[in-house]
Amino acid sequence: MSDQFLFIALPYVALISLVIGSILRFRINAFSYSSLSTQFLEDRWLAWASMPWHIGIIVILTGHLLAFSFPGVWTTLAAEPVFLITVEVVGALCAFLCLFGVLILLVRRFVDAKLQAVTNHLEIVVLLILLIQISSGLAVALLHRWGSSWAPGALGPYLHSILMLRPDAAYLSDMPPFVKMHIATAWVLLMLLPFTRLVHAMSLPFHYFFRAPQKVVWNSSRSEARFEQRLEKDTERRLFIKASVGLGASAVLLSLGTLDKFFKYFLKQDLSNEQEAHLLSEKLHRLKQSAQEREYELERMSKDDIFVAKLSDLSKTKGKYFIDYQMRPALAFRDENGLPILLSAKCTHLGCTVGQDLDEQGRVLCPCHISYFDIKTGSPSAGSPAKDPLPHIGWALQNEQGKTLLAQDAEGRREGSIEPGQLESSLLFIVKRFSGEAA
Amino acid sequence: MSERKTRFQRLTDFLSDRLPLHKLSFENMVTKKEVPVHGMSWAYYMGGLTLLFFLIQLVTGVFLLFYYQPTVSDAHASVEYITFFVNSGFLIRNLHTWSSSCMIFCLLVHVLTAFAMKGFARPREITWWSGSLLLILTFSFGFTGYLLPWHQIAVNATKVVLQSIEEVGRYLPGGFANLPTYIKELIQGEASVGQATLSRFYALHVVILPLIFFATLGLHLLSVQLHGISQGIDNPSKKTERFFPFFILKDFWLWGLAFLVVFILALCLPFESFYSYPLFEAFDSLGSTPDGIKPEWYFYFVYYPLEILPFWIVMLGMTFAGAGLFLTPSIFKHTSRKVLSIIASVAAAYLIIITFFGQAIYEAFKGVSG
Amino acid sequence: MKVVLSVLSLTMIFVTPALAHPEFQRHFKETSGRTINCAMCHVHPDGPEGLKTGQIGSLTPDQLNTLGLARQANKPGSVVKSPILNEFGNLIVETLGKDKIMELKQSPGSLPDALSKTSDLDGDGITDAEELKDGTNPLNSYDGSPVKLLKINFFRNWFDLFMIVLATGLGFYGLYNLLLWLSVKAGRKGQ
């Protein structure tokens, strides 16, 4: 029942009072359409109260208006955590500014004798309601967090229903008490607005921007100079405030929207089991690879001959990579007569590994700077950047019992002999005594 | 009394002229400093921009140290881990790459404009020399950093460069012929590019080069502030601007803009997508060399000539260019700024053409010869 | 049963010739201007033949088994994961089937059009077919045509960009006013 009163009856009373009250006040006494300044009576407290209060309330009201005017856009934006945090932090800071300002405004009404002379009951009541409103808003912000995310969706339809003259308080029935209080107090404030100093919120001094410049004529040059000085000081102060606000806001946005990524970089990584497994297997694979390289190295240091391939597995057109005694890549082909051709695969130009495919002219290609090498002679073709031939590598053919049948050193000198029938089953080795450094 | 000064006196005179330490006060270096205003004034901002990118490099580089592992088996895996698994690791790494390129770009513009504006003239020789050293250090950063991800192009490109050093030996007379090989092995640390090379490059990139860079940068900035900014044009107008706070705030303004641009690039455009070699596998010492091995773009100015021209011509050219860089203050002592601008424009034109059209030129040459 | 299968697949391997497809590699290398190696579709960059990881010589009997089965995937829709192909290679086999691939060898350029128009294995916003055409890695989200990547990521990161543009704008506003403030102050001091 109280909901019906607070959220259906009260809003309409407030809206009617707002519209009619404002019009009447303007018609009856247009000059009262502002608030009486008390700066003349008391200005030390006022500076500390009025500034924070106005800065805070302008930001907060703008936020409320934007959120309820464009709930769709707002909700999309608020889905971004960074935006949500920014809005909530800025909102809370402004609310504290307001609270601070309104408390001082209230206190100064009570303690300053000059002020009390012009203070009527309504001034006190308005300040008290504002205090309640700010406190309840802060309470909502602190107790029911992320209001900027849920409020437009939850309260927007209610406001819509009021404005469309199809009031429905059911939207608010589940709301926590502080939210209800905040809304009800808002209606009360709207209701009282035309009859209090708050009416100045409706007479924003936009014409200041467009009016013709006023010439101030001073009656003494001394006061003029003093005024000029003061004006300059004011400009200076205004510029300084603008600069600080700009830089400060920029710093806040940077740290929330950009530099937060740098912070995240150091957090523990959230990996799924699958990802961890993938990473581990990758790592293991690479460890195996380097273990294999070490094995090769050890093998080349300690063994007199090293198995390359079964001779029958070698191809005439596609070389097989292996590692020679100097741990450099090398290629093994098979000759037309069935014997192996072994040559270094380290390009004599700048040390790239040459490709394994033989072209029609019996050459392999180094892809780095396009050098062709004839595999029979090892020499580069004319015009290749490489000038020196790829050195051949000595080899030995053994039968399955490990007996060396035929061997050839790097210069092509052969020893031993092999029957054509034995070729297919023989095994190809590289031999330490034929490799340069062993000699 | 003899007019001739002793050698020691001449040295002290030289130094006190070049490093006027009596001007070493806050007032002289900051509050009283004026920056000339003229058509080339924009060039005064390039050094500051380079500094910004260096600072970005410093921060992101330290960040990368948290995850990078400089071993042959893990280097590539750890880079992949940073890129794909660490929160915003991709952003940090991409920022590091983009900003390195931006730094080199700004540095080149800075060098060319400083040259054209005769920023090396007496008494600013020390500024020029320290700047030249910074230029070389920056390129060394680029070269050593390129190897660290340990992928196919990186390792093979490094191999090619190191092998080129050995190549120099062919053109040296008898006793010196082995010197380049010796130097190569000193850098490489073992018979071919491997773990020792990676460790050396890592130490250079992360500790040694930064330390030298800091010292040189300190000297550079000190002498810049001691001498104030050079007039820059032959007939300077009287118009100047206070360095502090006006010039420096505009500098910050530009820094903000530069950071915005490099951040957007780092967030949206992976630098590696420009590499023609797309698969970024870890280096495989037993596999074949893939084609498309190329250094970073900022080495094109020496890479393409090496591809096209005979080796010794390029080496000779590089030696002259390097010597010319350090001897600039004495060679161009009496040259007018107009002539200097022409030389700088020619150098800039060369750099732009070879960087953008190097590949086309190379293909044209190879097409004719092959 | 298992033994029979593995024997079967082993014989299959030695009977069927090696089925690497350099035609496609050559074609896309030429048209895209990017260097492409076998790792576009295969596990190992040097192709399927050899003894290293991902090459036929390194496979375990079980894997050889799967390979044998994968080689029989002549019709589209087979979900066998060949151990010598990477995800993208397997996807091609799955969508097209071996027969169609063999047919396309005559006109390698039409391979991308035959692939799915929506599949994007690395999730970088460029479809696999497009990446094949561009000669970039369909399995690496940071590899792609730079222009496309820039456009896609620009919209993906709109919020971060919005924040930093806003921050920079505010910073500029602040610096501008700071400059004005300082010049007003300097002017006053000068008097």
Which chains contact A through at least 3 pairs of Cβ atoms less than 8 Å apart?
B, C
Measured between beta carbons, the chain C residues lying within 8 angstroms of B249 are 175, 178-179, 182
Across the interface, of A80, A243, A253, the residue whose CB is closest to C177 is A243
Tell me the backbone φ, ψ of residue A427, rounded to 5 degrees.
-110, 140
| More confident: C39 or B195 | B195
Q: Which of B160, B255, B289 to mutate to test the interface with A (most CBs of A within 10 A)?
A: B289
CA of C114 vs chain A CAs: smallest distance (Å): 30
One-character DSSP codes across A121-190: HHHHHHHHHHHHHHHHHHHHHHHS--HHHHHHHHHHHHHHHHHTT---GGGGTTS-HHHHHHHHHHHHHH
Q: Do B281 and C182 touch (CB under 8 A)?
A: no
Q: Do B73 and A287 touch (CB under 8 A)?
A: yes
Give CA separation, A232 vs A219, A222, C183, in Å: 20, 15, 12
Buried b / exposed e over A198-208, threshold 16 CB at 10 Å, is: bbbeeeeeeee
Q: Do B242 and C157 touch (CB under 8 A)?
A: no
Residue A182: predicted pLDDT = 93
pLDDT of B12 > 60? The answer is yes
Which chains contact B through at least 3 pairs of Cβ atoms less than 8 Å apart?
A, C
Beta-carbon contacts of A380 under 8 Å, excluding residues fewer than 6 positions away, are A348, A371, A372, A373, A374, A386, A387, A388, A389, A390
Measured between beta carbons, the chain B residues lying within 8 angstroms of C34 are 276-278, 292
Across the interface, of A239, A248, A257, the residue whose CB is closest to C180 is A239
Residue C122: predicted pLDDT = 87
State the Cα angle at B179 between B174 and B185, rounded to 5°: 145
Looking up tokens 């010869």 gives B369
In sign, the C-alpha dihedral spanning C5, C10, C14, C17 is positive
CA of C32 vs chain A CAs: smallest distance (Å): 18
pLDDT of B2 > 70? The answer is no
CA of A40 vs chain C CAs: smallest distance (Å): 29
In sign, the C-alpha dihedral spanning B208, B212, B218, B224 is negative
Q: Do B260 and C137 touch (CB under 8 A)?
A: no
Chain A CA closest to residue C176: A243
Single out the residue of A326, A274, A336, A337 nearest to residue A300, CA to CA: A326
Share of chain B above pLDDT 70, in %: 95
CA of B240 vs chain A CAs: smallest distance (Å): 24
Alpha-helical segments (H) within chain B = 7-18, 26, 46-65, 75-84, 89-116, 125-147, 152-168, 179-188, 195-203, 209-227, 248-268, 300-308, 311-331, 337-369
In angstroms and rounded to an integer, the radius of gyration of the C-alpha atoms of chain B is 23
Measured between beta carbons, the chain A residues lying within 8 angstroms of C178 are 239-240, 243, 247
Single out the residue of B179, B303, B301, C45 nearest to residue A353, CA to CA: C45
Q: Do C175 and B286 touch (CB under 8 A)?
A: no
Beta-carbon contacts of A278 under 8 Å, excluding residues fewer than 6 positions away, are none
Across the interface, of B80, B192, B369, the residue whose CB is closest to A383 is B369
Dihedral Cα A287, A288, A291, A297, nearest 10 deg: -130
Buried b / exposed e over A368-386, threshold 16 CB at 10 Å, is: bbbbbbbbeebbbeeebbb
Using a CB–CB cutoff of 8 Å, tell me whether A294 touches chain B: no
Q: What is the DSSP letter of C110?
A: G
| More confident: B218 or A110 | B218
Looking up tokens 């300690």 gives A302
CA of B73 vs chain A CAs: smallest distance (Å): 6
Measured between beta carbons, the chain A residues lying within 8 angstroms of B167 are 350
Chain C CA closest to residue A77: C159
In sign, the C-alpha dihedral spanning B326, B331, B334, B338 is negative
CA atoms within 13 A on the CB side of A225: 3
Contacts 24+ apart (CB under 8 A), A316-320: A316/A358, A317/A357, A317/A358, A318/A356, A318/A357, A318/A358, A318/C49, A319/A345, A319/A356, A319/A357, A319/A358, A319/A364, A319/A375, A320/A356
Chain B CA closest to residue C168: B256
Cα–Cα dist C168/C141, whole Å: 29
Residue A26 Ramachandran class (φ > 0 left, ψ -120 to 50 alpha, else beta): alpha
Residue B272: predicted pLDDT = 86
**B108 and B351 Cβ atoms separated by less than 8 Å:** yes
State the complex-level ipTM. 0.82
Single out the residue of A44, A197, A198, A36 nearest to residue A112, CA to CA: A44
Residue B220: predicted pLDDT = 95
Cα–Cα dist B361/A222, whole Å: 77
Q: Do C177 and A242 touch (CB under 8 A)?
A: yes
Across the interface, of A240, A250, A261, the residue whose CB is closest to C167 is A250
Residue B349, Cβ density class (10 Å: 0-12 exposed, 13-18 middle, ≥19 buried): exposed
Model confidence over A140-169: pLDDT tens digits? 988 888 888 888 878 888 888 888 888 888
CA of A132 vs chain C CAs: smallest distance (Å): 34
Residue A436: predicted pLDDT = 62
Residue A95: predicted pLDDT = 93
Helix (H, G, I), strand (E, B) or coil at B35: strand
Of B64-68, B161-165, B258-262, where does mean pLDDT reach its minimum? Answer: B161-165
Cα–Cα dist B1/A422, whole Å: 99
Q: How does the average pLDDT of chain B come out, rounded?
A: 87
Cα–Cα dist C126/C144, whole Å: 7
**pLDDT tens, chain C, 191 aa long:** 344 444 444 443 333 334 457 788 888 888 887 878 778 888 877 777 666 677 776 777 888 888 888 877 888 877 778 888 888 888 888 888 888 888 888 888 888 888 888 888 888 889 998 888 888 888 888 888 899 999 999 999 888 898 899 999 999 999 999 988 888 887 766 55
Model confidence over A374-403: pLDDT tens digits? 888 888 888 777 878 888 888 888 888 878
Strands A363-366 and A371-374: antiparallel
Beta-carbon contacts of A432 under 8 Å, excluding residues fewer than 6 positions away, are A303, A304, A305, A325, A438
Using a CB–CB cutoff of 8 Å, tell me whether A290 touches chain B: yes
**A298 and A289 Cβ atoms separated by less than 8 Å:** no
Chain C CA closest to residue A288: C53
**A106 and A128 Cβ atoms separated by less than 8 Å:** yes
Cα–Cα dist B17/B308, whole Å: 46
A·B CB contacts under 8 A: 96
Cα–Cα dist A163/B39, whole Å: 61
**B94 and B77 Cβ atoms separated by less than 8 Å:** no
**B259 and B52 Cβ atoms separated by less than 8 Å:** yes
CA of A6 vs chain C CAs: smallest distance (Å): 40
Beta-carbon contacts of A172 under 8 Å, excluding residues fewer than 6 positions away, are A3, A7, A155, A158, A179, A180, A183
- On the question of a cis peptide bond just before residue B295, with omega within 30 degrees of 0, the verdict is no
Across the interface, of C150, C164, C178, the residue whose CB is closest to B269 is C150
Cα–Cα dist B244/B251, whole Å: 11
Structure tokens given for A372: 């062709």
Amino acid residing at B8: F
Single out the residue of C140, C133, C113, C130 nearest to residue C30, CA to CA: C133
Looking up tokens 């088996």 gives B73
Q: What is the DSSP letter of A6?
A: I
Q: Do A321 and B290 touch (CB under 8 A)?
A: no
In sign, the C-alpha dihedral spanning A371, A377, A382, A386 is positive
Strands A320-323 and A329-334: antiparallel
Tell me the backbone φ, ψ of residue C156, rounded to 5 degrees.
-65, -35
Adjacent-strand bridge partners of A337: none
Q: Give, to the nearest 10 degrees, the angle between helix A177-192 and helix A121-143.
A: 150
In angstroms and rounded to an integer, the radius of gyration of the C-alpha atoms of chain A is 45
Looking up tokens 């106005």 gives A54
pLDDT of B266 > 80? The answer is yes
Q: Which of B181, B276, B288 to mutate to test the interface with A (most CBs of A within 10 A)?
A: B288
Tell me the backbone φ, ψ of residue B89, rounded to 5 degrees.
-65, -35
pLDDT class for B50, splitting at 50, 70, 90? very high
Using a CB–CB cutoff of 8 Å, tell me whether B214 touches chain C: no
Single out the residue of A94, A279, C26 nearest to residue B86, CA to CA: A279
State the Cα angle at A159 between A154 and A161, rounded to 5°: 105
State the Cα angle at A384 between A378 and A388, rounded to 5°: 40
Single out the residue of B19, B59, B65 nearest to residue B222, CA to CA: B19
Other C-beta atoms closer than 10 Å to the C-beta of C141 total 20
Q: Do B159 and A351 touch (CB under 8 A)?
A: yes
Using a CB–CB cutoff of 8 Å, tell me whether A286 touches chain B: yes
Across the interface, of C160, C170, C180, the residue whose CB is closest to A249 is C170
pLDDT of B153 > 70? The answer is yes
Using a CB–CB cutoff of 8 Å, tell me whether A283 touches chain B: yes
For chain A, residues with pLDDT lower than 70 are 1, 368, 436-439
List residues of C whose CB lies inside 8 A of any B CB. 33-37, 39-40, 45-46, 52, 135-137, 140, 142-146, 149-150, 153-154, 157, 160-161, 164-165, 168, 171-172, 175-176, 178-179, 182-183, 186
